[in-house]
Structure 1
Amino acid sequence: MNSNSFLKGRGAQQNTNNKFSAYSYETRDDFLEFCRLEGETADANKTQYIPIFPKTIVNKVTSPDVGMSYSMNMYQGCEHGCIYCYARNAHEFWGYSAGLDFERKILVKHDAPKLLEEKLKSKRWKACTIVLSGNTDCYQPAEQEFQLTRKCLEVFLKYRHPVGIITKNALILRDLDILKELNVHGLIGINISVTSLSEETRRILEPRTTTIKKRLEAIRVLSEAGIPVNAMLAPIIPGINSHEILSLAKAVTENGALSMAFTIVRLNGALGEIFTDWIKKTLPDKADKVLHQIQECHGGTLNDSRFGVRSRGEGKIATQIHDMVSLAKHLYFKDKKFPKLNTKLHEPFKDGQMKLF
């Protein structure tokens, strides 16, 4: 890997063109030379927080194979910079690139708690688990400054409404007090993403995420508090972390996880170009092997968009991964079960307090 050409602290190494834009952008050599001669930085590599004001915050999930009915995202874009993240493509709808823009231009929905409260108070709304966040991580670095996730959890508690969380950040432990209160009423389920036990792998795949040690600690602390935790071993990337399935399953169950789930990586939309560029710069010796194995799982391409198949894969390599996951579940999760969340408490709390009559 050429350290001079590699952008440290980021996953994507380029801004791919936005498919919805009539314009394309490139960094020309003559511009880079001008910056060098002038002693200027061509790319400051800084994160920007950009406020946006949507009219609604809760989204109905229509994809039949996602495993959730409703989701909400306080932030669009994610500074974690996970190179494989399917949410990158959504940044194009906002007029940005799925590449570096996704990691550096973070859109902040300051009205999220207010919009959530309006939704939960609606007479037409029937309690159904809402997941934070179906798209970008609700505990990414922006949360330290804006605390929108914590404020939304307070709303869920106030209205006794079930909520799920997907994260790979140990910042979740900051909100342990609220999570415990939600759990008293059976209103909370946590999904912690653990993709590798190797810090080197974690660092290149997910450059601004919590360390693996802290993620396992988060699973342990939450589990010891009686809060149900599911471990997301996702995505499984052939040739990068596929050999770790058993060791990952063993580690998360030893720390208290009640269940595990997985997906096989798929590189839809702009991800194919972003991932290919990244792996050729980061892991040039194994780049072709990894790309070919991913293609083997998706009928010769880097992506399969068919519902029910796209995240499971097909072919010999996918079958091997499925067999390993089945063995892991048999060995480490045979007598464990993730509970269903309570949807029966919300109706009496529509106005924020228990109705007596």
Structure 2
Amino acid sequence: MPISRSQPSLATEAVIAALKAAGETTRYRILVLLAQSELTVKDLTAILGQSQPRISRHLKLLADANLIARYPEGAWVYYRIAEAGAERRLVLDLAALADPADPTLIRDREWLAAVKREHAAQASRYFAENAADWDTIRSLHVPDAAVEAAMMSILGVRPVDSLLDIGTGTGRLLELFAPIYRKAVGIDASTAMLAVARANLDEAGIHNAQIRHGDIMKLPMPRDSFDVVTIHQVLHFLDDPAEALSEAARVLRPGGRLLVVDFAPHALEFLRERHAHRRLGFAREAMAGWIEKAGLSLAETVDLGGSNKEQLTVTIWLARDPRILVADRISGMETA
């Protein structure tokens, strides 16, 4: 059956190089594992029972053939299969050919499950140690369920190709919006929180979302990469929220949407003193100005809660990249 012209392809030399890289027992086992989950050298060492230098050598050969990608995260480096293109298709096809009854691959899956259980246990310990602080802040505003329902209502159910969650924390928004995106990435500067997010996504069975270590001010993505970008309860930790919004706008595709959730202005100084809040909420006018400065158009603003002096108001802002709107308007003028 001929290959569709729309499918990604490789030059013959690249195909041969990729097959040579994959054509070794340990490296093939690594590809099968990475097709299921992103892993570190330490994880692969535990699963495959081989030394760190040996595993690192295999990973380098696979990376040199562009079959896998590496993402540094603090002191760790996470590996996953190629994110796009013919190399990704090749890895997935090769992994799909594996006999699920192969005893070696069965053991690999069992060890992978054990590694994931340990990741989940570590995440649970971290969550338990910090739960008191999070519970204190949650008690100050409307329930999370109400905020999430409002976010889902504002964003809608129309499918999108790609979503970026900046400051993903526990990965909750990646779970919440999983029904509408084809692929997603969660970015966070805290390696501890990324461990929590990975465990939560594993438990939820979400495999089309990735977790990456990154700086909100210098997102490791090219311009025009995402249809939707979310920033949930992150801006109040930053010295320069306006710069963060500009960086979020940079990675939005034409016509893309930015969803921001944060507090309205308040006077709870203890949040600054005990919980590292740099900003005590954001006025509508200030946020609207920053959004406009970032080259976006403010589409909707919604306030939740704040019915009494002790309760914080949660504000949701929806902004759009207007470039596609301008293109449509010009096209309409030309055809008029």
Same topology, TM > 0.5: no
Q: Indicate the structure with greater strand content.
A: 2
TM-score by length of 1: 0.29
Q: Which has the higher contact order (CA 8 A, sep 6+)?
A: 1
TM-score by length of 2: 0.30
* Structure ID, larger Rg: 2
Q: Indicate the structure with greater helix content.
A: 2
